[in-house]
A = this chain, B = another copy of it.
Amino acid sequence: MNVRMAITPPSREIPLAARVSCNDCSLSQICLPLAVEPEQLDELDRIIRRGRALKRGEHLYRAADSFEAVYAVRSGALKTYAMSEDGDEQVTGFYLPGEIVGMDGISTAYHISSAKALETSTVCEIPFAHLEKLSIKIPSLQHHFFSLMSREIQEDRALLMLLSKKSADDRIAALFTTMAARQERRGLSSRLFRLPMSRYDIGNYLGLAVETVSRIFTRFQQQGLIRVQGREIEILDSERLCGDSRLQIIKD
């Protein structure tokens, strides 16, 4: 009955689809399985379609596609964006490995935003109808899912605050801070990381012009807060970066 493979295969180009259980996944402690007891993991495993691959620029789903599933990012990175009637794009989020994308659309039965790979990525597909059924059998899964959606709301709220009250400096600083935190959650360095998205996407997400983003990156580097090398970022002074990117302007 137990179809899991005991050991992670000996590396080198084994298609991810071959990993038939969440058990074998290095992300299990930050992804859906964390809400499921080991003995129930099989049930979750059975409904998940693993290892769908996406090339850079490829869509996972588009706005108006019917809503069928949510997706756990396994590798790479995605952005979600919405289009207003008058055609301009708004980036609404970035999704890194271990995070769940696609929870918009539950209420409408179709997606209201599109999701696009920022780089070569793989995702695990979790059909939502199955997940709902399973949530009825596994209360902790239901709770976890409520919780995930609630967190999504919280993140949007934080972004709202950023966009309506904070200076361009504060917004960029916040981006670095949250990226660092998410790196850390995955067990990676929170000091040194690579931004998966373009300056354009950053500007769009934070409600700033590309030029402004670029200027602030440069200035933060001059102020010794970070070191920038293209998309590679090193946080040099997280204190000043978090705390008072605004105050120091007043002082200086």
Contact = CB atoms under 8 A, between A and B. Distances in A.
A41 interface: no
Number of copies: 2
Interface residues of A, number: 42
Given A103-B150, A106-B150, A88 B165 contact: yes
A153 B156 contact: yes
Contacts of A103: 150, 153
A165 B90 contact: yes
B164 A207 contact: yes
A188 B90 CA distance: 32
30 contacts: A82-B161, A88-B165, A90-B160, A90-B161, A90-B164, A92-B157, A103-B153, A104-B150, A104-B154, A104-B157, A106-B149, A107-B151, A112-B157, A132-B143, A132-B146, A133-B139, A136-B136, A136-B139, A145-B146, A149-B149, A149-B150, A153-B156, A156-B156, A156-B157, A156-B160, A159-B160, A163-B163, A163-B164, A163-B207, A165-B207
